């Protein structure tokens, strides 16, 4: 089997979104897509002024948004009648399909807020489907734990633990991994997939070839292959995300991602004339 090595190391861009929420964006800049992934943000701060504005009501069409909370609480509300509170460790996997208007506002006035939002593209045949949600309580997420590591499985399978997201068209893998200093994480990935690691904190070495130092809040795009090896230089936490490419043309207009410019214009018109939510 072919070893997986580093393809590219990307330092996130400091940015803000919503009503001024500070974040680090590593996919979706300029834009740099990594099929099927369209955007990856690490959001949050210990300063309430950096997040209190939240993400007021805004529309989406043609994508999936995966929000994973590490610390803090968010209240979610949408045009389909959905409403709930995300707490530390919870995941909201939203297939926006033909269109939804939603808001995500912090349900806290102080303390640490930290989490991730990943955008996954939808194939043309699914983009106009009815919106769908997968709400995942942290208690429902299976975890593998041994002397070297802890692996939280949101999607995919590791050893005997399996994630709650199944039957998905891009066959996603989404792990949250904590690796003890000096230990190694090994995993076989599908050679068809595009894969990445987002290092949250710590320092790691990936693969067998020498590479520059990787430490804290860094995106690492991986080469295609099957055998992944990650070694921790210090106690480390990182996300492993992988998915099967869709290989379709991408047209993006803000929160809308379709296949053609005319479809983007239609989404904008639908939003402004009140026919966006089907």
Q: CATH number for the domain including 218?
A: 2.60.120.10
The single-letter DSSP state of residue 191 is: T
Is the sign of the CA dihedral 134, 71, 230, 120 positive or negative?
A: positive
Q: Which residue from 214, 222, 220, 217 is spatially nearest to 189, judged by alpha carbons?
A: 222
Domain that residue 30 falls in: 6-273
**Cβ atoms within 10 Å of 66's Cβ, excluding its own:** 24
Write out the two tokens for 232.
């921790």
**Is 278 among the domain residues?**
no
**Is 1 among the domain residues?**
no
Write out the two tokens for 121.
């593209």
Write out the two tokens for 224.
């295609």
Overall number of domains in the chain: 1
**Is 83 among the domain residues?**
yes
**Per-residue confidence in pLDDT tens, the chain, 278 aa:** 899 999 999 999 998 888 788 899 999 988 889 999 999 999 988 888 888 888 998 999 999 999 999 999 999 888 877 788 999 999 999 999 999 999 998 888 889 999 999 999 999 999 999 999 889 999 999 999 999 999 999 999 999 999 999 999 999 999 999 999 999 999 999 999 999 999 999 999 999 999 999 999 999 999 999 999 999 999 999 999 999 999 999 999 999 999 999 999 999 999 999 889 87
Write out the two tokens for 82.
């959905």
Contacts of 258 (CB under 8 A, 6+ apart): 61, 62, 127, 251, 252, 264, 267
**Is 237 among the domain residues?**
yes
User: Given the DSSP bridges, would you call strands 218-222 and 6-10 parallel, antiparallel or unpaired?
Assistant: antiparallel
């Amino acid at each position: 089997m072919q070893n997986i090595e580093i393809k590219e190391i990307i330092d996130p861009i400091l940015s803000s979104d919503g009503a001024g929420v500070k974040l680090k964006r590593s996919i979706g800049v300029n834009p740099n897509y990594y099929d099927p992934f369209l955007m990856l943000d690490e959001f949050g701060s210990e300063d309430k002024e950096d997040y209190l504005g939240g993400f007021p009501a805004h529309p989406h069409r043609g994508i999936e948004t995966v929000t994973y909370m590490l610390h803090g609480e968010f209240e979610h509300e949408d045009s389909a009648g959905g409403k709930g509170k995300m707490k530390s460790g919870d995941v909201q996997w939203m297939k926006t399909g033909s269109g939804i208007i939603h808001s995500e506002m912090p349900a806290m006035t102080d303390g640490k807020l930290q989490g991730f939002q990943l955008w996954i593209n939808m194939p043309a045949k699914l983009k106009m489907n009815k919106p769908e949600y997968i709400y995942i309580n942290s208690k429902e997420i299976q975890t593998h734990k041994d002397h070297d590591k802890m692996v939280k499985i949101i999607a995919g399978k590791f050893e005997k633990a399996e994630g709650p997201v199944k039957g998905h068209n891009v066959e996603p893998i989404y792990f949250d991994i904590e690796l003890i200093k000096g230990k190694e994480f090994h995993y076989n990935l599908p050679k068809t997939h595009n894969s990445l690691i987002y290092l949250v904190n710590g320092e790691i070495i990936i693969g067998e070839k020498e590479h520059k130092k990787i430490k804290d809040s860094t995106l690492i795009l991986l080469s295609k292959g099957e055998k992944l090896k990650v070694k921790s230089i210090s106690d480390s936490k990182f996300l492993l995300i992988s998915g099967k490419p869709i290989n379709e043309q991408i047209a993006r207009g803000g929160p809308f991602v379709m296949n053609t410019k005319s479809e983007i214009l239609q989404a904008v018109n639908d939003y402004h004339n009140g026919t966006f939510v089907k």
